[in-house]
Amino acid sequence: MRIVRAMDGVSAEQAAIDGGRSAALDQALRTVAEADLGAGPKYSPLVVRDLTRTISARAYGKPLLELMHLIRIAEAAGGRHGWPAILFAVPVARAAAFRGVIQKASAGCRAFDVDFALVEDGVEIAYPDGRFRVTYGRMAFLAALVEFAITALGWRAVDGVFRGWLDDRFALRAAGPHANTLSRLLYDHLKDHLPTAQALRSYRRLTRFLMAVRGDGFTLDDLDDAMVLAFWSRGDEEPDDDGGDIRTFRAAVEQVARLRSAMRAGLERRSVDSAVPIGGDRSAGEVDPDTLLGVLEAHDGPGDPLRQLASPPASTIKFLNGRETDALDLIAALGAQGPALPLSVLRVETFGAAQGRLTQAIRRRADAVEVAALVGLAQCESYGERSEQWDRLDHQLHRLSLAALAALLEAGRAEAAVELLAQAPDADLSPLRGVASGSGDGRVVALGGILAALADPDVVGGRAAEVVGQARAALRAISRRGFSVEDRRDPASGDGFAAGAPAVRAVRDLLNGLRRAVDTALPLAERDHRFEADRTVFAARFSALYEAVP
């Protein structure tokens, strides 16, 4: 396993001197994200995010081992053209697509009766020294990893490693050295391209500031709204010449949120009595990449509902419009850290948005009067107005959840029961057992009977039936793509609602968690006063940053 070198060694210092962003790395990731074979994006935002996390944490050791086995499978199924005929031929990288192409190809491949077996969720390789299974669900990520590796390292290097593995003995144990070869190539490439030095500078800037203002005994609770504002407002920072836009308030909030997640990981580790070593060689400053990947997933996971809504099958239905997605973006990105920094979120959505308009005006060389007006925050949305927008957004998310429930009921999907319980958690659905036992022998008949009974107040009670009635009304009232009667006739519609409904609920939970935290931190009666006080602070800082006098 490759080990990530922590940034406290000599090499890290050198990296800090040399650092900066890499256009090549950005481009390699964007190439994967924008891959399109004429059927829309090949890889979903979730797959791209997984790839980005894996690359950032350098946690590609295990995936590359899996990849070697997938290459064996694809080479066998790919016929004369070999592995690319499977990994590159799928227009949209989804489990079902890989299942289809491999099942079709395997029909004409003798090896699939001997060394490879189609199993329920993937393909299993029977090596003489053991078995290895690659699931269809994993193939999209592994295919994206191949595209990234070829874009970053070149065809010759990557195909050369694959060729070496395919020409090697057919053995489970033989895969490791070839995976390690590719891992080393990636490691060497990323050493020059990951913006770790820039990230390290941000880390040092933040921890130095915290120690200066709170002492070296600071706790997680010290990373609060006041600290964010003080950090962003400080005027003595070193020039930010490395491309990091710490001048934006949002960037400061996000960095503090990341430090909260990182510090939590350290504190959790400390609280475990027998904490495992964090890497193979601590004297060399090494940290296990899989541990880092866990931190990344925990921090970034709350953002996944928005990515799920942007990914098939949910993306076939327009649950959120662009404005709503924008309004939820930061809240989803911060996840659990949002409610810990409620005022900061409120400030980003109001003053941060104003800062965005201001920087755009400066870029397009707007006249001094316009810039001064923007610096003075004359037209800035107030805290009260933003709270009202969140109220409306919550109402809309509720309507969408209800409409999705009705669509699932109409499609005869079992997921409807879960959604109904989510909307009416106090409903007693136990009488449905009687419906199920009396609905006939066939599963479809039984499910149909249960779903019909969900709207029957005599069976499930008034509350659940009332929710179903509201759901049907919501479905009729929503006119977005995917919600119309005609759109709902599409056989894929049920899958879209089944994937989208829990994601919409998850986003709504994040929004309401944040709203509650804001209500606690800033009671309604204090909002106007606080807004005016903050406006003075932000206007002064904008004036200093952009050298304009309001």
Partner 1 sequence: MTGRWNDLGPDDRALVEASFVALETTALIGTEASAGAMPSPSALWAHVTGVAVTPRTELAAALLRHPDLRVTLAGMLARVSIASGPRVAAAATGQRVRERSGDGFRLRLLPARGAPDQTWIMIALDTPNPAPTRLTVLPPDGVPETASLEAPVDGGVQLLAETDSALVRALSDPTALVFLL
Q: What residues numbered 256-295 form the site for partner 1, per CB under 8 A?
A: 258-259, 261-271, 275, 277-279, 282, 285, 287, 291-292, 295
Output the 3-class SS for 179-199.
HHHHHHHHHHHHHHHCCHHHH
Question: Is position 326 an interface residue for partner 1 (rule: CB under 8 A)?
Answer: no
Minimum distance from residue 282 beta carbon to partner 1 (Å) = 6
Question: Is position 479 an interface residue for partner 1 (rule: CB under 8 A)?
Answer: no
Question: Is position 42 an interface residue for partner 1 (rule: CB under 8 A)?
Answer: yes
3-state class (DSSP) for residue 41: strand
The residue among 79, 81, 68, 86 whose CA lies nearest residue 162 is 68
Minimum distance from residue 83 beta carbon to partner 1 (Å) = 9
Report how far residue 528's alpha carbon sits from residue 277's, in angstroms, rounded to the nearest whole number.
51
Residue 342, CA distances (Å) to 10, 262, 331, 397 in order = 38, 19, 10, 20
DSSP string, 335-395: TTHHHHSHHHHHHIIIIIHHHHHHHHHHHTT--HHHHHHHHTTTTPPPHHHHHHHHHHHHH
Which residue in 44, 135, 151, 183 binds partner 1 (CB under 8 A)? Answer: 151
Q: Which one-letter amino acid corresponds to residue 47?
A: V
- Among the listed ranges 24-32, 476-484, 491-499, 527-535, the one in contact with partner 1 (CB under 8 A) is 24-32
Cβ closer to partner 1: 334 or 353? Answer: 334
Q: What is the DSSP letter of 286?
A: E
Minimum distance from residue 136 beta carbon to partner 1 (Å) = 17
Cβ closer to partner 1: 187 or 218? Answer: 218
Question: Is position 6 an interface residue for partner 1 (rule: CB under 8 A)?
Answer: yes
Question: Is position 27 an interface residue for partner 1 (rule: CB under 8 A)?
Answer: yes
Q: What is the DSSP letter of 3?
A: -
Cβ closer to partner 1: 338 or 482? Answer: 338
Cβ closer to partner 1: 128 or 154? Answer: 154
Report how far residue 472's alpha carbon sits from residue 494's, in angstroms, rounded to the nearest whole number.
15
Minimum distance from residue 115 beta carbon to partner 1 (Å) = 22
Cβ closer to partner 1: 139 or 435? Answer: 139
Question: Is position 48 an interface residue for partner 1 (rule: CB under 8 A)?
Answer: yes
Question: Is position 191 an interface residue for partner 1 (rule: CB under 8 A)?
Answer: no
Question: Is position 437 an interface residue for partner 1 (rule: CB under 8 A)?
Answer: no
- Residue 518 token pair: 């804001």
Residue 433, CA distances (Å) to 369, 437, 448 in order = 70, 6, 13
Q: Which one-letter amino acid corresponds to residue 422?
A: A
Cβ closer to partner 1: 267 or 445? Answer: 267
Using CB under 8 A as the criterion, what x/- string covers residues 213-252 for binding partner 1? ---xxxxx-----------------------x--------
- Among the listed ranges 68-76, 117-125, 189-197, 510-518, the one in contact with partner 1 (CB under 8 A) is 189-197
Question: Is position 150 an interface residue for partner 1 (rule: CB under 8 A)?
Answer: yes
Cβ closer to partner 1: 300 or 349? Answer: 300
Question: ∠ CA 539-541-544 to the nearest 5 degrees?
Answer: 110
Q: Is 547 left (phi over 0), alpha (psi -120 to 50) or beta?
A: left
Report how far residue 435's alpha carbon sits from residue 328's, in angstroms, rounded to the nearest whole number.
40
Which residue in 47, 65, 210, 403 binds partner 1 (CB under 8 A)? Answer: 210
Q: Which one-letter amino acid corresponds to residue 68?
A: M
Q: 60 and 66 in contact (C-beta within 8 Å)?
A: no
Question: Is position 470 an interface residue for partner 1 (rule: CB under 8 A)?
Answer: no
Cβ closer to partner 1: 173 or 269? Answer: 269
Question: Is position 185 an interface residue for partner 1 (rule: CB under 8 A)?
Answer: no
Report how far residue 484's alpha carbon sits from residue 442's, in angstroms, rounded to the nearest whole number.
30
Q: 468 and 406 in contact (C-beta within 8 Å)?
A: yes
- Among the listed ranges 32-40, 312-320, 411-419, 535-543, the one in contact with partner 1 (CB under 8 A) is 32-40
Report how far residue 129's alpha carbon sits from residue 174's, in angstroms, rounded to the nearest whole number.
10
Cβ closer to partner 1: 181 or 261? Answer: 261
Q: 358 and 351 in contact (C-beta within 8 Å)?
A: no
Minimum distance from residue 106 beta carbon to partner 1 (Å) = 20
Which residue in 13, 14, 36, 184 binds partner 1 (CB under 8 A)? Answer: 36
Cβ closer to partner 1: 105 or 199? Answer: 199
Residue with tokens 């659940």: 464
Which residue in 76, 134, 185, 194 binds partner 1 (CB under 8 A)? Answer: 194
Cβ closer to partner 1: 292 or 353? Answer: 292
Q: What is the DSSP letter of 82?
A: -
Cβ closer to partner 1: 193 or 472? Answer: 193
Question: Is position 25 an interface residue for partner 1 (rule: CB under 8 A)?
Answer: yes
Residue with tokens 């079902």: 96
Q: How many CB atoms are located within 10 Å of the residue 495 CB?
A: 19
Residue with tokens 């009977």: 449
Question: Is position 44 an interface residue for partner 1 (rule: CB under 8 A)?
Answer: no
Question: Is position 359 an interface residue for partner 1 (rule: CB under 8 A)?
Answer: no
Using CB under 8 A as the criterion, what x/- string covers residues 61-100 for binding partner 1? --------------------xx-xx-xxx-----------
Question: Is position 35 an interface residue for partner 1 (rule: CB under 8 A)?
Answer: yes
Cβ closer to partner 1: 81 or 516? Answer: 81
Sheet of 116-119: strands edge to edge? 116-119, 122-127, 130-135
